Amino acid sequence: MTGPLTLDMVAGKMKEFGNSELVRKNRIRITTTPDKVHDTIKTAQAMLGCDRLITISAVDNTRTLELIYHLTGPHRMVLSIAIELTRDQPAIPTTSDILPPAAIYERQIHDLFGITFTGNTNLNRIMLNEDWPANEFPLRKDWKPGPDTFYGGIKVERT
Amino acid sequence: MPEVVVSIGPHHPALKEPVNFKVVIEGEKIVRLELDLSYNHRGVEKAAEQRDFIRVLPLLERVCGICSHAHSTAFAKGIEEIMQLEVPPRAQYIRTIIAELERMHSHLLWLGVAAHVIGFNTLFMWTWRDREAVQDTVEEMSGNRVHYGMNEVGGVRRDLTPAQVTAALERLPNLEERIKKYVDMVNSEETMLIRFRGVGKLSKEEALRYGTVGPTARASGVDYDTRKDDPYLAYADVPWNVVTDTNGDVYGRTRVRIGELWESLKIVRYCLENLPEGPIRVTAPRNAPTGEILSRYEAPRGELAHFIRTNGTDKVERVDIRTPTLANWTSVAICLVNQNLADLPVIVAAIDPCLSCTSRITLLDSQTKKTGVMSFDELIRRNRSRDQGLVRP
């Protein structure tokens, strides 16, 4: 599929997964739920010619945690698939089995936001140091460095 | 033969920046790669949420020491789109000139590093000398060699004078000559052909499947280039071509980068000769309305994506930076499989990894356990006392 991708085409294929809207010239945003993420991405790959994952963005909006999967393809249209997750023990099925580049982004988001991607077997630390304390997720809005918490490295007195 | 894990880095002569590879090898052949990037995390995304738009640009510029203009432009153009600002064409042209000069100095630097990795230090010296001509141009225009500080939300901070334009145009013919020489060398020089051909091969299908970006993807025949796909700055007005190659190995990546040097030179020349008259910026409001944008930018290493969310204040709610190097690690791990361990440096260098290296020196006194920052005078003083056999001050 190499022709241009229109909102009608996307909305038609994505009807069962959620609402599609054209947010600017070449961006279509699809809102869906965590349990449908796998099928949404599979449909985007198979029916809408999306062969490339640009990135997975994560946002903490203080009420929920949001994940936005940005996909593109030869049509050069960007499909942004947005999902909201609860802040309490957020978890979502991994998409690294259908989109191999997702694995490293999932690892990064797991490290910084504490979102679990079930099925991803390699969620080791990648951005934070290996002796960073567990259950401290620095990019969450309510995170503040604890005065007595040890965040790894060499213990020093500050001048 | 049993598998052996070789730990390379974070400090290793073959690596230019701190990263740790756990390479699983069987004999001389690589089986698998596991990596750890945690040596450089500085919390820039968190820090960006605390600063207003004026103060966040210099911070984002310091994400990377090579593609500093890429980060500040990607952010500025995202915010401008949310604010619905019409940036004057002269500002867009000046941004394009700096962006392409940045690409040229980055690719020349890469060519030198790649040559150095294979032990071809003559080429390393040559390209880094030629890179100075580009650096001089950038320094004349912006006052800086690395962090140009050209961008602000709404336009650029410095105008180009006719004298600067003439000086920049005068440097181009010599660079053109040198790039021709490199095109020649990469296709005929034995040393490069032996070490680059067939090394780190990535097919077009693999490049697409593993989300490869930038020159690494274009060397495998994937024609994604954000400057064409989602035109920004002045790229829609300028005649230029996307450079691709079908080799898919380190040789192909070298050819793509040299081809891009050529295209960048053409873009810089066109923009300098056709620089529109007019203002260089518009006044931006203090606050941005609520919105979100995925700002895409073709950095020298590949597609850079800034996901920006604003909340109606003068600070961002969230800025999510996806650098091209992070996108390329997946495919590096793939193309290393079944390669010789000795080829690891050149394959890793071929994606031009950039781990955002710049950090300030902090001293730790091992006896008093105190940390602090050393002043330049103190550094000089310590150096001199060392010369006289007095190591401790």
Give residue B362's pLDDT: 41
Percentage of chain B modeled with pLDDT above 90: 44
- How far does the CA of residue B183 sit from the closest CA of chain A (Å)? 30
Q: Which of B264, B246, B4, B254 is CA-nearest to residue B117? A: B254
**Residue predicted with more confidence, B285 or A155:** B285
Task: Indicate left, alpha or beta for B146 from its phi (over 0: left) and psi (-120 to 50: alpha).
Answer: alpha
Alpha helices, H only, B239-312: 250-273
Q: Is the pLDDT of residue B369 over 70?
A: no
Distance from CA of A90 to the nearest CA of B (A): 19
pLDDT the model gives residue B389: 47
In this complex, do B294 and A57 lie within 8 Å of one another by their Cβ atoms?
yes
Name the phi and psi angles at B266, rounded to 5: -65, -45
pLDDT of residue B340: 86
| pLDDT at residue B153 tops 50 | yes
| Cβ–Cβ gap B305/A70 under 8 Å | yes
| Closest approach of B204 to chain A, Cα-based (Å) | 12
- On the question of pLDDT at B43 being above 70, the answer is yes
CA distance linking residue B312 with residue B358, whole number of Å: 32
pLDDT tops 80 at residue B379: no
pLDDT at B97 over 90: yes
**Side chain identity, residue B141:** M
pLDDT of residue B383: 56
Using CA of residue B246, residue B251, residue B254, residue B255, what is the dihedral sign?
negative
Residues near B253 by beta carbon (within 8 Å), at least 6 away in sequence:
B215, B216, B219, B245, B350, B351
Assess contact for B354 and B323: CB atoms under 8 A.
yes
Of A19-33, B153-167, B194-208, B370-384, the one with minimum mean pLDDT is B370-384
Q: How confident is the model at residue B156 (pLDDT cuts 50, 70, 90)?
A: very high
Chain B interface disruption, residue of A55, A72, A130, most B CBs within 10 A:
A55
Could you tell me if B297 and B76 are in contact, meaning their C-beta atoms sit under 8 angstroms apart? no
What pLDDT score does A13 carry? 78
pLDDT over 70 at B349, yes or no: yes
On the question of pLDDT at B392 being above 70, the answer is: no
**Taking an 8 Å Cβ-Cβ cutoff, which residues of chain B contact chain A?**
35-39, 41, 43, 45-46, 81, 208-211, 224, 229-230, 293-294, 296, 303, 305, 307, 309, 317-318, 320, 322, 326-327, 329-330, 364, 369-372
> pLDDT-derived band of residue B20, with 50, 70 and 90 as boundaries?
confident
Task: Report the distance separating Cα A156 and Cα A24, nearest Å.
Answer: 50
Domains and CATH numbers, chain B: 42-350 (1.10.645.10), 363-393 (no CATH)
- Residue B23 has a pLDDT of 87
Residue ranges of E strands in B311-377: 316-322, 363-364, 370-372
Q: Where does the pLDDT of residue A11 fall: very low under 50, low under 70, confident under 90, or very high at 90 and above?
A: confident
pLDDT per position as a tens digit, A87-117: 888 999 999 888 888 988 999 899 899 999 9
Whether the per-residue pLDDT at B119 is higher than 90: the answer is no
Question: For the segment A55-93, what is each residue's pLDDT rounded down to a tens digit?
Answer: 999 999 889 999 999 999 888 888 999 999 998 889 999
Predicted confidence (pLDDT) per residue in B189-242, tens digit: 888 898 888 888 889 988 888 889 999 999 999 989 999 888 999 999 999 999
Quote the crossing angle between the two packed helices B162-188 and B121-142, to the nearest 10°: 160
* Cβ neighbours of B387 (radius 10 Å): 8
Q: What is the ipTM of this complex?
A: 0.90
The chain A residues in contact with chain B (CB within 8 A) are 24, 26-27, 51-55, 57-61, 68, 70, 72, 76, 78, 80, 99-101, 103-105, 108, 125-130, 138-139, 154-159
Chain A contact set for B372 (CB, 8 A): 159
Binary contact (A129, B38; C-beta < 8 A): yes
> Mean pLDDT throughout B277-306?
91
Give the minimum alpha-carbon distance from A119 to chain B in angstroms, rounded to a whole number. 18
Contact B369 A157 (CB under 8 A): yes
Q: Please tell me whether the overall predicted TM-score, pTM, comes out greater than 0.95 for this model.
A: no
Predicted local distance difference test score (pLDDT) of residue B370: 57
Q: Do B211 and A68 touch (CB under 8 A)?
A: no
- Contact list, A159 vs chain B (CB under 8 Å): 370-372
| Model confidence at B133: pLDDT above 70 | yes
Q: How far is A59 from chain B (nearest CA, A)?
A: 7
Burial of residue B240, with CB atoms counted within 10 A of its CB: 0-12 exposed, 13-18 middle, 19 or more buried = middle
Which residues of chain B neighbour A154 with C-beta distances below 8 Å? 364
Percent of chain B at pLDDT > 70 equals: 90
Please say if the pLDDT value at position B356 is more than 60.
no
- The pLDDT confidence band at residue B355, using thresholds 50, 70 and 90, is low
Exposed / middle / buried, residue B334 (Cβ in 10 Å: 0-12, 13-18, 19+): middle
Contact B330 A72 (CB under 8 A): no
CA A135 to mean position of chain CA atoms: 19
How many helices and strands (H and E) does chain B possess?
14, 10
Min Cα distance B262 → chain A (Å) is: 25
Q: Which domains occur in chain A, in start order?
A: 7-118 (3.30.460.80)
